[in-house]
Chain A
């Protein structure tokens, strides 16, 4: 049997899986579709009129899009790094947990790339970044590094999940010689993508708020909070609605790890805040803009303290063993972690980095409706891809859905 017909049967099988679902499933898809269409319309307007429809200006030249990009790189990185505890605690066959982390990574990277695409002024010229076809300023530009590592990471994860699911579909075990090295490679790559993304900001001496060597460790620590937060919720959903099994003990262990990661995040933030406030140089301006505002410019202050409160309460919920055992506090903690990190690393990183601008001007950036719609569309697209991939991968990897040669030949 040729590979082509085998693969087309896999694709056909996947379609069959995707088309099966209850009302909640279809409602979820419809909801995502609405957001995607709305985002696409907003993006079309942005392309025709220019980025003037965003709230970004010369003073604050990056905003909501790049903030989301940065946050999602963290999600993509952490989803895979979660594989490490799977090794350490050896609680389940590695394959099941790897797959969900990598599916999340694939969707998150997809969203990252889309956020870059919607942010650039000339998306029609994206091919200028493709080595050979265009010109990638490697190794001088850290953005060139980021383009490379993100795409490689995307490819690795995509190959691994496709391979595992495809093999499972055909009733065969995955090829360890392919999967093991790729999974092992994806761990340093996960650290790599986030480090490179941190360096993207870190390397700019023009922006003192970013030009701090603590940035990359801070990025990694907060990624270890937000990535698992999504996965923990996902595992509970899967456990509820599929035959997917995960022990309470494992969930509690991940939550415990999150508490340590959150402690590290808070500690690094504290170290940064101490240095800024105690040395009290001109560079304190940016931190002050975030935490207390500058004069009448106080737009971000509520967000700053909300993030602090969320992160602190998530830490407290998870450091107490009882807190991570009870499903209510567990999920509250996950939500608080996710929201706290999202504020901190999205808007909290980008906007104070650019406010006041290089010449001291304060322009208070608040994303425009177009930006919100486009961003929602990108998130919806990412979640759609994630949902559909889960829809295919879960039953196949649980062995519930397989190609049956006899049935296949009968056609």
Chain B
């Protein structure tokens, strides 16, 4: 695995860390960069990048953990579906322990629901073929990154005329959430570290509004240690020179236009529609629904469930953490009541959740104290 060493070379890292410190010093004021993607949040901690950053540079996490932004309403619905005796609910592992209003899928599994964890949605088709008498529901949670593979799976199911397979699409689109985040003015952000995987599919262009309309620079960044450092350095360079463009650090994978084939699948199988987000509420055209041609694969149409009104856990501040308005340590439940073993909110469950990352890797080691959020920029 040569590339993994290539992207973690110590001497190059030192050079980039120096450059970041010089730029931050030149800026001479508190700088806030939001990493939008949960994978970035974890990578920044895991590779020790946060600990190497200057004191006046603050990294905050944005709405980029798909499990975290899934509202209770959708989790509750999935649980009700799973509890139907003829249903096998298939999902990615991250969703299983996320608490809904009253229970999690893991609790439902203990109660007898048949819930299977897969690593590829195509495995759900194997399960469907092997269990023709059962209804197989795939719980599709994710952003533009995972949606194409789910789309391809639906396409495959259609070509095989699999009658017992459907998808509960809880997919969300990142750019509309970013627009809502910036429009709210709740969090002052000097620059965005943009999600490398999402942009692999949709390209960098859908994020250009951040620079064009709001004057905030963005950097599409990869996930290896040197990517992270280079992305931060390039962003600081823009901020220091008063430039605001959407640039790509992750050029070995991401283009302006993205992956046309993946986009074609999305367009074929899904249609954008309203979606409800934890942290934002209902955002127009921010979710992917099944397009009319594929409506027979829509679990929401096929499996009828009624759920009691969703309720939020009192005191849980995942909504504010998702918007970057609150650091996990500022939540009263963090570490005291809410822990990875007994998570209250999704940000503590998901491996990409901000609270889980802060719990696991410890802000104690972080060189700078938590400062109150910076003032909102005009």
Q: Do A and B truly interact?
A: no
